[in-house]
């Protein structure tokens, strides 16, 4: 499957792949059935570098936004729940339990 952007990271849950796109945002890809189909997307206006999915939420490390959290209860229609600015450039994100961890080029931020 050809990417329609500049993919930088991926996380998969329940038959849906979530792709951070340096071209600007989050793309969803339905991996079942075959062949994969592009699903919903969120345009952020700047490069997204990393993605982590937990339950019905997707966490995106986005250059312009910082930490973006989207509800993917319906993966084909992701909805932005919150955007949190970070002092540097959000480059990576990980999620454990109820916390998100973001590296921003100069430090680790815990949300």
Segment 9-62, tens digit of pLDDT:
999 999 899 999 998 789 999 887 778 888 889 998 889 999 999 999 999 999
Q: What is the pLDDT of residues 51-86, one digit of tens each?
A: 999 999 999 999 878 999 999 999 889 999 999 999
Q: How far apart are CA 109 and CA 4, in angstroms?
A: 31
Query: What distance lies between CA 75 and its chain's CA centroid?
Result: 12
Its pTM stands at 0.91
Tokens of 55: 């339950």
């Amino acid at each position: 499957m050809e990417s329609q952007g500049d993919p930088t990271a991926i996380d998969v849950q329940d038959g849906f792949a979530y792709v951070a796109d340096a071209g600007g945002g989050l793309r969803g890809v339905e991996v079942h059935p075959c062949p994969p189909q592009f699903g919903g997307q969120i345009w952020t206006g700047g490069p997204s570098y990393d993605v982590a999915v937990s339950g019905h939420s997707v966490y995106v490390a986005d250059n312009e936004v910082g930490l973006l959290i989207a509800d993917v209860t319906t993966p084909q229609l992701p909805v932005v729940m919150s955007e949190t600015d970070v002092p540097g450039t959000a480059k990576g994100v990980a999620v454990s339990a109820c916390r998100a961890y973001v590296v921003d080029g100069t430090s680790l931020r815990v949300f």
